[in-house]
């Protein structure tokens, strides 16, 4: 993507890889969960305006916040050393897509349906991918003096990047003492798993 440098509100258009003006950087949004980022070039941020992508002065609006999730579609493997991601706007819920036809003079747009297709896959260096989606650590801590779950089971929702459930990208659940656990990011491709708690866990108070 190439920003309209120095022109607040200017359209963002597609550009050749490694071309001039491609200086976008990901920046975590304070106070949000892992995977929420601003995409900036100096004092300008990538934002949404209708179905268009614009380059505007950075602010704290949802239109300039992006939810990053893994996406690697069949037949569109990233180059060596790269991984695929999807960019969803936090305000509109729409995804960045390479448009087959120009939209407002640009071949890049926001699409209302986020689908696992190559036109919505954007490749970033593996180091960037790992920083965006794999640096989060489990937040679980054992809460003292909590009673065990009434069901006597641990429960966990596991989130995957694809329908085939081959790449785990996050999970959320509760342990035998009722402490909440989480890691990574959520996804519509989820699986619920459970396991019985050890007998001695029930004796803790």
Whichever domain contains 51, its CATH number is 2.80.10.50
Look up the pTM and report it.
Answer: 0.61
Q: Does residue 161 share a domain with residue 124?
A: no
Tell me whether residue 148 is in a domain: no
Range of the domain at 92: 10-133
Rounded CA separation 173/158 (Å):
8
What domain count does the chain have? 2
15 and 107 both lie in a single domain: yes
Residues 27 and 109 in one domain: yes
Chain centre to alpha carbon of residue 160: 12
The one-digit pLDDT tens for each residue of the chain (205 residues) are 554 444 555 777 766 666 555 578 898 887 777 778 999 888 889 999 888 888 889 887 889 999 999 999 988 899 999 999 999 999 999 999 987 666 555 578 899 999 999 999 999 899 889 888 875 433 333 333 344 444 567 777 777 777 777 777 676 777 666 666 666 666 777 888 877 776 543 333 3
Which of 156, 138, 158, 203 shows the shortest CA–CA distance to 177? 203
99 in the same domain as 14? yes
Is 139 part of a structural domain of the chain? no
Q: Would you say residue 140 lies in a domain?
A: no
Q: What is the DSSP letter of 89?
A: E
């Amino acid at each position: 993507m190439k920003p309209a440098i120095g022109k607040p509100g200017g359209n963002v258009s597609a550009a050749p890889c490694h071309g001039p003006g491609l200086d976008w950087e990901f920046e975590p949004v304070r106070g949000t969960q892992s995977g929420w980022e601003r995409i900036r070039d100096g004092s300008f941020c990538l934002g949404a305006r209708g179905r268009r992508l614009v380059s505007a002065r950075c602010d704290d609006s949802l239109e300039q916040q992006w939810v990053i999730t893994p996406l690697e579609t069949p037949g569109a493997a990233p180059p060596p050393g790269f991984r695929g991601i999807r960019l969803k706007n936090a305000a509109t819920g729409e995804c960045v897509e390479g448009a087959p036809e120009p939209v407002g003079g640009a071949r890049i747009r926001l699409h209302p349906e986020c689908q696992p297709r190559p036109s919505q896959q954007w490749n970033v260096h593996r180091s960037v991918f790992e920083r965006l989606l794999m640096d989060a650590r489990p937040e679980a801590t054992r809460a003292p003096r909590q009673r065990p779950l009434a069901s006597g089971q641990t429960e966990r929702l596991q989130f995957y990047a694809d329908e085939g459930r081959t790449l785990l990208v996050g999970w959320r659940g509760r342990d035998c003492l009722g402490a909440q656990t989480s890691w990574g990011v959520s996804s519509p491709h989820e699986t619920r798993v459970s396991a019985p708690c050890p007998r001695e866990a029930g004796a803790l108070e």
